[in-house]
């Protein structure tokens, strides 16, 4: 029962609940011991089109195949947790690996996702405590950073991962993640997605 509570039934990956628990623990280790914690958040492109034109059974097969690719790329990083957060959103939680190794794995994930039959690639964002993103005192902040990076990747139709904190002192991903959700950040996030001119 415990295993089922922390597992996504379709892909066999960990689920959102498992990520929430492990991310809280990982960020606590980062605060106490300075352990590097990285999060890769990705959104599988084209799932709605597949579901609408080919049916949900075919969409489910695409999700399962992407789950396998995510597991394979996660295996490049010791102890990485591969998870499906829900719908077409997935993540890798990595504790202890250098940020550059995580970015390499995310790069490989983007490359392999682009080769999936019927898929349209993946929008992938990375946030790591090893990068210049400011202090990470909560799991929520690291998740917001990775999520903002993923939104930017989607808006740019990027074929490679977008990494929080790597665009200089005024990094747009860090700015978006730290903005108030109802204010400038909400507008900026929509702009990332191409909804605001």
Question: Whole-angstrom Cα distance, residue 16 to residue 29?
Answer: 20
Model pLDDT for residues 111-147, shown as the tens digit of each residue: 999 998 888 999 999 999 999 999 999 999 999 999 9
Residue 4's pLDDT band (cuts 50, 70, 90): low
Closest CA to 192 of 151, 142, 141: 151
Burial of 186 by CB count in 10 Å (0-12 exposed, 13-18 middle, 19+ buried)?
A: middle
Q: What is the CA radius of gyration of the chain?
A: 16
CATH number of the structural domain 2-192: 3.30.70.270
pTM (predicted TM-score): 0.88
Q: Which residues touch 86 (CB under 8 Å, ≥6 apart)?
A: 15, 16
Provide the token pair at 27: 């960020």
For residue 80, give the DSSP letter: P
Provide the token pair at 157: 């139709």
Model pLDDT for residues 53-102, shown as the tens digit of each residue: 888 899 899 999 999 999 999 999 999 999 999 999 999 999 999 999 99
Helices 99-114, 56-74: axis angle to 10 degrees equals 150
């Amino acid at each position: 029962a415990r295993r089922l509570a922390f597992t996504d039934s379709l892909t066999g990956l960990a689920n959102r609940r498992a990520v929430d628990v492990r991310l809280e623990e990982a960020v606590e280790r980062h605060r106490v011991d300075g352990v590097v914690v990285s999060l890769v958040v990705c959104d599988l492109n084209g799932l709605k089109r597949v579901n609408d034109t080919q049916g949900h059974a075919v969409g489910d097969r695409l999700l399962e195949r992407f789950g396998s690719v995510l597991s394979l790329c996660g295996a490049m990083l010791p102890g990485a947790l591969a998870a499906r957060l829900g719908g077409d959103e997935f993540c890798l939680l990595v504790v202890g690996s250098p940020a550059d190794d995580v970015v390499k794995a995310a790069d490989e994930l983007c490359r392999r996702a682009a080769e999936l039959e019927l898929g349209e690639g993946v929008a992938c964002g990375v946030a790591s405590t090893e990068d210049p993103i400011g202090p990470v005192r909560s799991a929520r902040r690291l998740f917001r950073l990775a999520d903002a990076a993923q939104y930017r990747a989607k808006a740019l139709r990027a074929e490679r991962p977008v990494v929080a904190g790597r665009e200089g002192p005024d990094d747009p991903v860090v700015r978006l993640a730290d903005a108030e959700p109802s204010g400038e950040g909400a507008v900026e996030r929509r702009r990332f997605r191409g909804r605001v001119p």
